[in-house]
Amino acid sequence: MDNIIKAQKKYLRETMLEQRDKMLRKERNAHSENICAQLWAYILENKVSVIHSYLTMGSEVNVLPLLQKALENGLTVVVPKTLKKRQMQNLILHDLKNMEAGIFGTYHPKDSEEYLEEYDLIIVAGLAFDKNGFRVGYGGGYYDTFLAGQQAARKIGVCYPFQLVGNVPLEVHDMQLDRVLCPPSQ
């Protein structure tokens, strides 16, 4: 059974990544703007002051304008630095321009301090999501490991409409999100 689930996840990863990469930039930008607007409304409604978010790579939903807006409005923004063995170091973001390259094609703030307190909101990327808040990520287990220790924070996944599927295949370590934000299909 375990091998079947791994194969299903692998297939989902490959097809979603291919589909995401084929999106027109204009469509990707429109969806990203919609999601950032939904996130900002959530932040205001829920008086969020500390956000943890991924840093956009490739064809992912672009949350960088949201992070910039959060910084401009005095919110604490924390982003991951990918380490080996499914671990992340969480660094305070001060400036989106002062970055350095990390492992696996990632990037993170240069000369930043580690954040060890609690979060109000954690924004999570992925390749496929379902209505129950489960996701298929890139397969490294970084976010599942991180989210397992973040009981108090609201966890919100973001995706394009086609990335929302009926049910994602589940393994015991997969962490459930509180919500998935997606623009309406067009």
Up-side HSE of residue 149: CA atoms within 13 Å toward CB?
Answer: 10
- Residue 30 confidence class, pLDDT cut points 50, 70, 90: very high
141: closest CA among 165, 175, 109? 175
Does residue 185 surpass a pLDDT of 70? no
Q: pLDDT digit string (tens) for 97-122?
A: 999 998 888 899 999 999 999 999 99
From CA 107, how far away is CA 115, in angstroms rounded?
17
At 4, is the secondary structure helix, strand, or coil?
helix
- Residue 178 confidence class, pLDDT cut points 50, 70, 90: very high
Average pLDDT, the chain: 94
Report the topology of domain 2-181.
Rossmann fold (3.40.50)
- Residue 140 confidence class, pLDDT cut points 50, 70, 90: confident
Query: 185 vs 18, 41, 52, CA distance in Å?
Result: 18, 20, 27
Question: Greater confidence, 84 or 74?
Answer: 74
Q: Is 163 exposed, middle or buried (0-12, 13-18, 19+ CB in 10 A)?
A: buried
pLDDT at position 1 is 61
pLDDT at position 53 is 98
Measure CA of the first residue to CA of the last residue in the chain; give whole Å: 36
